[in-house]
């Protein structure tokens, strides 16, 4: 979308950072963000000359460094803390350094906060960073989930979150009125158009992307597979499988969801503004103080509005899934899932006699053993 709402500053910063990463052509980014090339090159020039301040309508670049004395250091640290009440010494020190100021050590910032009566609790900084496994490149894996049901003054909010595993970049942060497949799909399409396709998406086993009774696949996950994205489900009762997104939810709750929103419109505006801060300004301990934008880049895999044709391998037995999710494998009726009705799937022989792996396009669905007793539809 063009830069025209109250989150325009964060969108401009996201655009120039992606453009300067060297991982995408400016013309392609202009198409994805919906802006003209003249405006794009003007933004890039101003950013190179003035940094983030150059992206504002009126430059706020200070004429001189405000951090030349201890009182100024203290004032600057307290100002950042006042704007972000859950940030601790490490984050504030990184922010001051990124602004080009002679920032103190994190321990010094923590001391400043304590001297000024700032409480440093579980949500206020001071916790040791926790090291997690991460995928080696952006868009290798996106984690997706809803942040529960959040009460508002009018109605309920269902924040949809999609996080890039490698960079912790918030790909989607949407204020949703429900948790339906159509709602999720609309936000994913917008993300795919802007950032390209990930190789895989990790989700839990709940609706709308999980179904215990139907081999865990739903119409939404089938659509993702058709789009060219692999889908993996977390182990039941193991939320740590989506640990980065769960950690993102903790920050989201602490920093923005504490006070109820008036309605969905106010919630979406607040979420988008916070997303810009999270992606481009908020230092991340797991990234050694970098911000997610430092490590993120758009995917070279472009989204296709219409699913591309798919050819199965020679030797595969291809069958179309019939009503209620039944399909025939070498004369044996097999229940797959209603989510695949009308889709062509392939049975591929394994090293075990009578056992076949079932695939939908590139995705392994299940393993079928014809040596077991048949189940009739």
DSSP letters spanning 166-219: TT--EEEEEEES---HHHHHHHHHHHHHHH---SEEEE-SSTTT--GGGTT--H
Q: Are 255 and 86 in contact (CB under 8 A)?
A: yes
pLDDT at res. 211: 73
Average pLDDT in the 12-18 region?
89
* Low-confidence winner among 51-55, 113-117, 224-228 (lowest mean pLDDT): 113-117
pLDDT at res. 230: 94
Q: 214: pLDDT confidence band, cut at 50, 70 and 90?
A: low
**How far from chain centre, in Å, is Cα 316?**
35
User: What six digits make up the tokens of 149?
Assistant: 């049901």
* Confidence check: pLDDT of 252 > 80: yes
Q: 123: pLDDT confidence band, cut at 50, 70 and 90?
A: very low
pLDDT at res. 108: 74
Q: What is the CA radius of gyration of the chain?
A: 24
CA 260/CA 246 separation, integer angstroms? 20
CA 78/CA 108 separation, integer angstroms? 12
* Confidence check: pLDDT of 132 > 60: no
Q: Nearest to residue 53, comparing CAs of 5, 6, 16?
A: 16
pLDDT tens digit string along 336-361?
A: 989 999 999 999 999 999 899 999 99
Average pLDDT in the 185-194 region?
97
Q: Are 108 and 92 in contact (CB under 8 A)?
A: no
């Amino acid at each position: 979308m063009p830069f025209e709402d109250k989150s325009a500053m964060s969108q401009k910063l996201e655009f120039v950072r992606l453009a300067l990463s060297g991982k995408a052509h400016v013309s392609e980014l202009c198409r994805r963000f919906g802006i003209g090339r003249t405006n794009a090159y003007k933004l890039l020039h101003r950013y190179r000359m003035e940094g983030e301040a150059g992206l504002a309508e009126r430059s706020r670049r200070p004429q001189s460094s405000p951090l030349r004395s201890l009182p100024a250091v203290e004032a600057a640290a307290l100002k950042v803390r006042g704007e972000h009440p859950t940030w601790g010494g490490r984050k504030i020190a990184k922010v001051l350094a990124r602004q080009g100021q002679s920032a103190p050590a994190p321990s010094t910032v923590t001391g400043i906060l304590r001297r000024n009566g700032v409480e440093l609790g579980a949500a206020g900084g001071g916790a040791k960073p926790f090291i997690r496994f991460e995928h080696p490149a952006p868009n290798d894996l996106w984690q997706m989930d809803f942040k529960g049901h959040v009460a508002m003054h009018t109605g309920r909010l269902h924040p949809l979150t999609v996080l890039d595993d490698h960079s912790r970049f918030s790909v989607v942060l949407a204020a949703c009125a429900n948790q339906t497949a159509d709602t999720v799909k609309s936000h994913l399409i917008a993300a795919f158009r802007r950032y390209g396709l990930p190789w895989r998406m990790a989700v839990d086993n709940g609706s709308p992307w999980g179904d215990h009774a139907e081999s865990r696949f739903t119409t939404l996950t089938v659509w993702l597979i058709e789009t060219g994205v692999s889908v993996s489900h977390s182990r039941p009762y193991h939320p740590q499988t989506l640990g980065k997104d769960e950690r993102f939810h903790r920050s989201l709750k602490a920093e923005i969801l504490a006070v109820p929103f008036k309605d969905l419109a106010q919630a979406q505006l607040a979420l988008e503004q916070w997303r810009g801060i999270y992606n481009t300004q908020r230092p991340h301990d797991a990234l050694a103080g970098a911000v997610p934008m430092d490590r993120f880049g758009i995917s070279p895999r472009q989204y296709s509005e219409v699913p591309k044709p798919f050819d199965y391998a020679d030797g595969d037995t291809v069958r179309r899934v019939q009503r209620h999710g039944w399909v025939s494998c070498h004369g044996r009726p097999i229940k797959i899932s209603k989510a695949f009705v009308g889709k062509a799937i392939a049975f591929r022989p394994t090293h075990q006699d009578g056992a076949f792996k079932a695939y939908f396009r590139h995705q392994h669905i299940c393993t079928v053993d014809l040596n077991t007793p048949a189940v009739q539809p």
